[in-house]
Amino acid sequence: MSQALPTEKLSLAGPVGAIEVLRDTLDDAHGIALVAHPHPVFGGANTNKVAHTLARTLRDLGYCALRPNFRGVGGTAGSHDNGGGETEDMLAVLDWARGEYGARPVVLAGFSFGAFVQARVARRLADAGRPAKRLVLVGTASGFVEGARQYDTEAVAADTIVIHGSKDETVPLENVLAWAEPLELPVTVVAGADHFFHARLHILRDIVVRAWRE
């Protein structure tokens, strides 16, 4: 029977220095999951509750879940790079994971700015002929976000799980619908949920688990 191992803190070599990573895994994980946290300039870190929920959910689905801190957060070197350097760092973590675990299926998950980054990572992997098995994007930064910037979010695969709160005060639901519509991409809307899914993290988990069983 699979056993969940204690969360570990790792320090991996990245393009501009150390990348601090939290690892949640089972003793017999069959895949790799990269989980990206929200915007670091506004307090985002790999300990964010949504990122934590995604990591634990994917761990329980059989993946080794890796949560890197973006540049300038915790023990990760460098400074915020608006998605460019963050994409390179995620790819570096994935290269390390493939060295550790071999050619196992890769899942990408991200929250807010992290979802924007993961869409970029997914494009890079697809262009390299090694596409991710699936994406999970929550509170996806898309369009104009007050206090941040304009996000030109990449197109993603049709089976991407996109989840958004109906009362998201950071990224308006309309932004995500405008991004998803030309892609014919379904969006799961959680009624009453704000950007951080306060009191609704269990719903977030349930949506992902149900989608995996379909």
0.95 exceeded by the pTM? yes
Q: Give average pLDDT by consecutive 10-residue segment, the chain, 214 residues.
A: 92 98 96 97 96 98 98 97 97 97 95 98 97 98 89 97 97 97 98 98 98 83
Sketch the domain layout of the chain as residue ranges.
Answer: 8-213
Using CB atoms within 10 Å of the CB of residue 10, give its burial: 0 to 12 exposed, 13 to 18 middle, 19+ buried.
middle
| Right CATH for 8-213 from 3.40.50.1820, 3.10.20.30, 3.50.50.60, 3.40.50.2300 | 3.40.50.1820
Which token pair is 72? Answer: 């300038």
Q: How far is CA 21 from CA 14, 71, 73, 118, 182, in A?
A: 11, 11, 11, 16, 35
Q: Give the model's pLDDT for residue 214.
A: 63
> How far, in Å, CA of 71 to CA of 180, rounded?
28
